Structures are given as C-alpha cells and as structure tokens.
Amino acid sequence: MTSYPEVSRNRRRYGVDHIEKYALGITQTITYKVKGGNSVVIDLITNAQDLIAEGDSNNARQVLNVAKHLLSEINGGNLVGTVKRKGALK
C-alpha cells in the first residue's frame, strides 16, 4: 500500500496518486499494445506541448514527468519500448 506522503508526492509530481498503477494501466491501451511504450511517451510529449501552448505549465510539467517515468520503466525492462510487427524489416 502506498503511504500518504508518497501519494501526495505522486499527485504533485505526476498528477496521479499511484504512478505505478498508472504505468500498468498504460499497458492496456491500444497504442501500447500495437506500437509499444515509446509511442505512448511520444503522445504524452505532444500533449505536454499542447498544454504549454495553452499556458498550462503545471499540467505540462506533470505530463512530462509521467513520460520520464515511463521511459525509465522502458529502460529498466519493465515496459516494452517497441512492438515488433509481423513482416517488419529487421
């Protein structure tokens, strides 16, 4: 169980209470299943750019932190970065 200070820290940093559960939920998205975590990260960065353009720097910061967390999970081998497609060039 996540402690209250950690939930509060996650809320401030990522905009979600449980970043680990959020990251696990990403694995259920169609983008992750078809293209992999790198595509999810690209989508998050695009969302952050849109938020910056709208002047919403705090939410942009949180979205970028989620993207960084997911990249860390990909680099650590906990998430798949790229899904190999059948018939794709090697």
pLDDT in tens, 3-58: 778 888 999 999 999 999 999 999 999 999 999 999 999 999 999 999 999 999 99
Give the chain's mean pLDDT: 91
Q: Locate tokens 């690209």: which residue?
A: 42
Q: Locate tokens 């990909």: which residue?
A: 74
Is residue 82 within 8 A of residue 35, CB to CB? The reply is: yes
Would you place residue 87 in the very low, low, confident or very high pLDDT band (cuts 50, 70, 90)? low
Which tokens in the block code for residue 64? Answer: 């970028």
Asked, for residue 19, whether it belongs to a domain, the answer is: yes
Asked, for residue 15, whether it belongs to a domain, the answer is: yes
- 73 pLDDT exceeds 90? yes
Residue 11's identity, in one-letter code, is R
Which tokens in the block code for residue 57? Answer: 């720097």
Asked, for residue 40, whether it belongs to a domain, the answer is: yes
Instruction: Tally the domains of the chain.
Output: 1
Asked, for residue 27, whether it belongs to a domain, the answer is: yes
Asked, for residue 33, whether it belongs to a domain, the answer is: yes
What proportion of the chain, given as a percentage, has pLDDT over 70?
A: 90
For residue 48, give Cα distances in angstroms to 25, 43, 57, 65, 84: 19, 9, 8, 10, 27
Asked, for residue 87, whether it belongs to a domain, the answer is: no
